[in-house]
């Protein structure tokens, strides 16, 4: 089970890579820009080449980029729509530049507009983005918690978006456990997790599920509240994560933790909890 964290690059790409190794990560996720802004800092070809070499010589097997929180492919606001498409294209290019294999994006919100039109806008955006993709970097759509007018909280809705791209292995799915739980999927129970996975298989296809965002939930089941918690300390709980981590369809997928972080010890504790739950060990 490849396991890692989302880490800041505020001190540089190489710092994030070294920190990931210090924390015992197998994989790493980063933002390529300010997550709450449209502008991004430039990376020179020399810097990118040095980082690719460092990455190749590190213990990190997979590098994942996450797009800005501002990205919205379902919006009817034409300026935000064009900025979002442009930002995802840029992140795909940057991933290729620095050796990343996947880019994860939130789908967005209709902001009160027609849901069917919002989905249509997402599909058209993906078609445009897809024309600039070379197949070396995979774009993953992340499920939402369903708050407000966000698109993509159900596997059926994500399946509807991805249906036109069947046969296109460059566009896939990232499952966030906190978001799924907040959206109403009882994944903390064996039956609830099985039903979700059956839904993914029938609506999306398990072969499109390439990444888990492993987060506990501060909010209750079906609360639609997107607030991450330390593994085992939220509403999904240790029993729920033992079920998730040991499911045969999930246990070998790459997993990124986006749990709350005040210090390195928070990350180390979450890593220990995950590894012990997967091995069936006793938590202390």
Helices (runs of H) and strands (runs of E) counted in the chain: 9, 10
Instruction: For the chain, report the end-to-end CA distance as a whole number of angstroms.
Output: 22
**Which three-class secondary structure state does DSSP give residue 173?**
strand
Mean per-residue pLDDT, 177-193: 98
Q: List, for residues 115-171, the tens digit of each pLDDT value.
A: 999 999 999 999 999 998 888 999 999 999 999 999 999 999 999 999 999 889 999
pLDDT confidence bin for 42, thresholds 50/70/90: confident
pLDDT at 114 over 90: yes
Q: 192 — phi, psi (to 5°)? A: -65, -40
Taking the alpha carbons of 251, 68, 110, 148 in that order, is the dihedral positive or negative? positive
pLDDT confidence bin for 283, thresholds 50/70/90: low
**The two structure tokens encoding residue 182:** 């907040």
pLDDT confidence bin for 40, thresholds 50/70/90: confident
The domains of the chain are located at 3-279
**The two structure tokens encoding residue 135:** 């197949």
- The structure's pTM equals 0.95
Q: 254 — phi, psi (to 5°)? A: -60, 140
Q: Residue 236 and residue 219: Cα distance in Å, rounded?
A: 9
Question: What is the per-residue pLDDT for 67?
Answer: 96
Q: Residue 121 and residue 117: Cα distance in Å, rounded?
A: 6
pLDDT at 31 over 50: yes
pLDDT at 2 over 60: yes
More reliable by pLDDT, 201 or 112:
201
Percent pLDDT > 70 in the chain is 99
Q: List, for residues 241-264, the tens digit of each pLDDT value.
A: 999 999 999 999 999 999 999 999
pLDDT at 284 over 50: no
Cβ contact 66:29 at 8 Å: yes
**Which three-class secondary structure state does DSSP give residue 28?**
strand
Return the CATH fold of 3-279: TIM Barrel (3.20.20)
């Amino acid at each position: 089970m490849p396991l890692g964290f989302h880490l800041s690059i505020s001190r540089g790409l190489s710092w994030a890579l070294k920190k990931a190794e210090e924390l015992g990560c197998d994989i790493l996720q980063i933002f390529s820009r300010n997550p709450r802004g449209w502008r991004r800092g430039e990376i020179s070809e020399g810097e990118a080449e040095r980082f690719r070499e460092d990455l190749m010589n590190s213990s990190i097997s997979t590098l994942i980029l996450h797009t800005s929180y501002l990205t919205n492919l379902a919006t009817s606001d034409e300026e935000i729509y064009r900025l979002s498409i442009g930002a995802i294209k840029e992140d795909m290019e940057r991933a290729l530049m620095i050796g990343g294999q996947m880019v994860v994006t939130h789908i967005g919100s209709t902001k009160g507009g027609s849901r069917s039109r919002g989905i249509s806008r997402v599909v058209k955006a993906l078609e445009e983005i897809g024309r600039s993709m070379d197949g070396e970097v995979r774009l993953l759509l992340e499920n939402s918690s369903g708050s407000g007018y966000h698109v993509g909280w159900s596997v059926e809705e994500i399946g509807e978006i991805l249906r036109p791209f069947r046969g296109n292995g460059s566009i896939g799915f990232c499952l966030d456990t906190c978001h799924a739980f907040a959206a109403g999927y009882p994944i903390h129970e064996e039956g609830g997790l099985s039903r979700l996975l059956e839904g993914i298989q029938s609506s999306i296809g398990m072969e499109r599920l390439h990444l888990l965002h492993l987060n506990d939930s501060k909010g209750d089941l079906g609360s639609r509240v997107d607030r991450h918690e330390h593994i085992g300390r939220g509403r999904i709980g240790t029993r729920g994560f033992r079920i998730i981590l040991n499911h045969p369809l999930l246990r070998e997928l790459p997993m990124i933790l986006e749990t709350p972080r005040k210090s390195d010890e928070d990350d180390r504790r979450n890593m220990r909890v995950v590894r012990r739950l997967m091995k069936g060990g006793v938590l202390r």
